[in-house]
Amino acid sequence: MELLLLLGAPVAGALVLWLAGARRSAPELNVLFSAATFGAACWLTARVISGGPMLLWREQFLIDPFNVFLVTLTALVGLTTALFSRPYMRVEAEHGRVSGGRLRLYHSMYQLFTATMLVALTTNNLGLLWVAMEAATLSTVLLVTLYRTPASLEAGWKYFILCGVGIAQALFGTMLIYFAAERVLGAEGVTALLWTHLDAVKGQLEPTVLSLAFVFLLVGYGTKVGLAPLHNWLPDAHAEGPTPISAVLSGLLLNVAIYAVVRCKVLVEGSLRSMLPSQMMMGFGLVSVLLAALFLWRQRDIKRLFAYSSIEHMGIVTFAFGMGGPVANFAALLHMTVHSLTKSAIFFAVGHAAQKAGSQLIENIRGLVTISPTIGWGLMLGSLAILGLPPFGVFASEFLILTTAMKQQPWATPLLLTALGIAFAAIFGKVQPMVFGDTQARRLPHPPALLPVFVHLGLVLMLGLYVPPYLAGWYRDAARLIGGP
């Protein structure tokens, strides 16, 4: 029932918003449906807190500690982004950058995108997971090209083709898993793609096939995570699409993609009893971190800057999951949560700043504190949070990951530390003049509503100081589930 509501609300929202068209109330409707989704997610969470994990609808859907917090997180960020997008898109429409028809597309696809991510998170069927991931790409392609500028079309095309090809690899990987599972679970094929069943028999699955499958799956879903060297689409899509979309792409889609990778890793590692998946994930993760840190220096566009920062953080998460073990997994899950909250908050602030300045170029945005203290401080605090300064949550998770790396993979620690240092210098050096630099612009008469930014940053701060016991419990359970050496 809760699940029906959870998945039904955004689907219904997509339909209603498509039909409602370009009414003035469309943004409010969008918020309303996102709120309904969030409500359903909270209800579901409450059920899980009281009743534990559950399998629903002929085992096609699964709620366990690993995905329940991601569901809530997705619904929450979906809601706050809808709140942020309401005034933001209205201004865009007033500036004539989007027409009524495109706004209708935007709202409807926004809801559909939320729906596909929730399906991907909650499904127990690896095939459906794939279908939902592909649908998530498709629903956002037209959002990336919403402005119809040459650059946005290019970004959309790159996004479509790269993710399309990537996800085709993932389908092949899924197929190989099915092939291996069919030999163990019987040829009826009803259960051979259900994750819970696969997890139960993972020790008997054929290792050669699964290792090959994992290569395809990691490359496939890794493209969506934005792991180097398959990250090319990510900065473009983030920079050229509307800011609310950058926020959900960075904050949510990447999480869902990495969730898919980890689900597969659990199966493969259980079958192989070797370090191959771990090593591959650590390798890809580390390369992404290093590459992103270096590219951060060269960015002149503020949204591209934070897109590369997303690649860096996804690299850290992938590396941590690759290390495995209770502490690293715990830290990775925490990092997913706080990165998602922080990064979307930053994009909200950046969106307003760029809108006010009329440009996304870093050199054109100056003295945000004078123009609007809320935007300025929002951006500054967000940047400090994402750079891992205490007492924000990112610090806690990065600290845990680094200490674990020191213990388990000492060779990687200096690399990680260097990358984090470079990233710190690059981002801080670029954001500081944006916030505190000189400007001729005058103070805005009405400060923009930045409630979502501070709600997110507040949550990140809280997670840095105190993790609620049930959340910590989920993290621990999920960490155990994910396993590792």
Partner 1 sequence: MAPLSFDLQLLNGCAALLLLLSFSMLSQRRIVNLVNLLALQGALLCAATLLVAVRTGQGHLYLSAVLTLALKVVGLPLLLHRLIRRLNVYWDAEPVINASGTMLIGLLIVVFAFGLAQPISALASTATRSTLGIAIAVILLAFLTMITRRKAMSQVVAFLSMENGLFFGAMSATYGMPMVVELGVALDVLVAMLVLGVFFFQIREQFDSLDLHHLESLKETE
Tell me the C-alpha distance between 30 and 230, whole Å. 33
Residue 205, SS3? coil
Residue 142 found at the interface with partner 1 (CB under 8 A): yes
Residue 160 found at the interface with partner 1 (CB under 8 A): yes
- How many other C-beta atoms lie within 10 A of the C-beta of residue 223? 26
In the complex, what is the shortest distance from the CB of residue 380 to partner 1, in angstroms, rounded to a whole number?
Answer: 26
Residue 55 found at the interface with partner 1 (CB under 8 A): no
Tell me which of 149, 274, 364, 432 binds partner 1, using CB under 8 A: 149
b/e burial code for range 401-421 (CB count within 10 A of at least 16 → b) = bbebbeebbeebbebbeebbe
At 171, which helix (H) or strand (E)?
helix 150-185
Tell me the C-alpha distance between 64 and 57, whole Å. 15
Residue 15 found at the interface with partner 1 (CB under 8 A): no
Residue 282 found at the interface with partner 1 (CB under 8 A): no
Number of residues in contact with partner 1 under rule CB under 8 A:
50
Residue 178 found at the interface with partner 1 (CB under 8 A): yes
Tell me which of 1, 15, 151, 417 binds partner 1, using CB under 8 A: 151
**Alpha carbon 235 to chain centroid distance?**
14
- Per CB under 8 A, the segment of 15-23, 173-181, 409-417, 477-485 that binds partner 1 is 173-181
- 55: which DSSP letter? E
Interface residues for partner 1 in 68-127 (CB under 8 A)?
125, 127
Residue 73, SS3? helix
Residues 6+ apart with CB under 8 A from 90: 27
Tell me which of 131, 286, 459, 479 binds partner 1, using CB under 8 A: 131
In the complex, what is the shortest distance from the CB of residue 207 to partner 1, in angstroms, rounded to a whole number?
Answer: 10
Give the nearer residue to partner 1 in terms of CB position, either 46 or 361.
361
Residue 176 found at the interface with partner 1 (CB under 8 A): yes
- Per CB under 8 A, the segment of 2-10, 163-171, 252-260, 437-445 that binds partner 1 is 163-171
Note the helical H segments in 297-372.
Answer: 302-323, 326-357, 368-371
Tell me the C-alpha distance between 155 and 159, whole Å. 6
Tell me which of 90, 95, 148, 443 binds partner 1, using CB under 8 A: 148
Tell me which of 10, 156, 315, 484 binds partner 1, using CB under 8 A: 156
Tell me the C-alpha distance between 397 and 392, whole Å. 9
In the complex, what is the shortest distance from the CB of residue 236 to partner 1, in angstroms, rounded to a whole number?
Answer: 5
In the complex, what is the shortest distance from the CB of residue 17 to partner 1, in angstroms, rounded to a whole number?
Answer: 18
Structure tokens at 334: 């925490």
Instruction: Tell me how far CA of residue 202 lies from CA of 184, 331, 345, 381, in angstroms.
Output: 9, 25, 39, 45
Residues 6+ apart with CB under 8 A from 307: 234, 235, 237, 238, 239, 246, 250
DSSP annotation string for 220-242: HHHHHHT-TTS-THHHHHHHHS-
In the complex, what is the shortest distance from the CB of residue 82 to partner 1, in angstroms, rounded to a whole number?
Answer: 23
Tell me which of 182, 276, 399, 444 binds partner 1, using CB under 8 A: 182
Task: Give the torsion through C-alpha atoms of 353, 354, 355, 360, to 10 deg.
Answer: 180
Residue 53, SS3? coil
- Per CB under 8 A, the segment of 24-32, 167-175, 326-334, 462-470 that binds partner 1 is 167-175
Tell me which of 190, 449, 451, 472 binds partner 1, using CB under 8 A: 190
Interface residues for partner 1 in 206-235 (CB under 8 A)?
206, 208-209, 212
Residue 150 found at the interface with partner 1 (CB under 8 A): yes
* Interface ranges with partner 1 (CB under 8 A): 60, 125, 127-128, 130-131, 134-135, 138, 141-142, 145, 148-151, 153-158, 160-161, 164-165, 168, 171-172, 174-176, 178-179, 182-183, 187, 189-190, 192-193, 206, 208-209, 212, 236, 240, 295, 298, 300
